[in-house]
Amino acid sequence: MGDNDTPSGSKIPTHVAIIMDGNGRWALSRGLPRLAGHRAGTENLRRIIRACVEFGVKYLTIYAFSTENWGRPREEVDGLMHILENVIDKELAELHKEGVQLRHIGRLEGLDPKIQEKVLNAIELTKNNQRLVLNVAFNYGGRDEIICAVRKMIQDGVRPEEVDEEMVGRYLFTAGVPDPDLIIRTSGELRISNFLIWQAAYSEWYVTPVYWPDFNKDEFRKALDTYAQRDRRFGGLTASVEDNPSHA
């Protein structure tokens, strides 16, 4: 177990992915409009990015807007688009200074051209940063990602016998990013909601009832401490069982 400041040192996950859920309920519980919850959630994201840098997490993927979120009321969708734009305008310089490399996963062409330009500019500016890779899943759906990959493979004339796990991985939005070691979902829902459905094959899960705007550094540390105690077997056996076959 880690002390009060750092999570269990030896087993920090390389890649953490977060389903940042519960902004709406957080706002509702305070009698505020849902968009106030999204703004509070954005504030919290800043804290968690800092914590990742501090704890030595190398990749952070955040689920910010799903392909299904277009089905929300117009006002909320517009508000979420506005928040994305605002975050890029206000935070980019600071993130760049901190060594954060921004990447986007999802269908960029489905967004407003002005936002597309800002996202591409942020990616270009930060592309050589090495401290933390921040993958923003915006207009992202796991099924959509697989459809895009299959289409591209067909366009490229890939032959059936060439298709293997490594190749599929290269055609996904997450090409070059290791699979998530730990997926965190806030606000208690026990579902994947179309997030990283290929990449999550062997990820560890941590679900907490805490709403995303309240998921602070201490809560994050708890998640990392829990992860450090997990026994990842990938379909094999634990080291201790391998050493003592009589206990298998």
- Provide the binding-site residues for ligand IPE, judged by CB under 6 A: 19-25, 63-66, 69, 80, 187, 189, 191, 193
Closest CB to ligand IPE among 138 and 171?
138
Shortest separation between residue 190's beta carbon and Mg ion, angstroms: 13
Active-site position among 4, 69, 121, 179: 69
Q: What are phi and psi of 225, to 5 degrees?
A: -65, -40
**Euclidean distance between CA atoms 164 and 54, whole angstroms:** 36
Closest CB to ligand IPE among 57 and 136?
136
Shortest separation between residue 238's beta carbon and ligand IPE, angstroms: 33
Residue 21: active-site member:
yes
**Euclidean distance between CA atoms 60 and 131, whole angstroms:** 11
Site for Mg ion in 2-61 (CB under 5 A): 21
Shortest separation between residue 211's beta carbon and ligand IPE, angstroms: 7
Closest CB to ligand IPE among 36 and 80?
80
The strand order across the sheet containing 100-105 reads 100-105, 132-140, 59-66, 15-19, 182-186, 204-208
Residues recorded for the chain = 248
Which entry of ligand IPE, Mg ion, none binds 17, CB below 5 to 8 A by partner kind? none
**Euclidean distance between CA atoms 186 and 205, whole angstroms:** 11
Q: What are phi and psi of 180, to 5 degrees?
A: -65, 135
Q: Which amino acid is at 33?
A: P
Active site residues: 21, 69
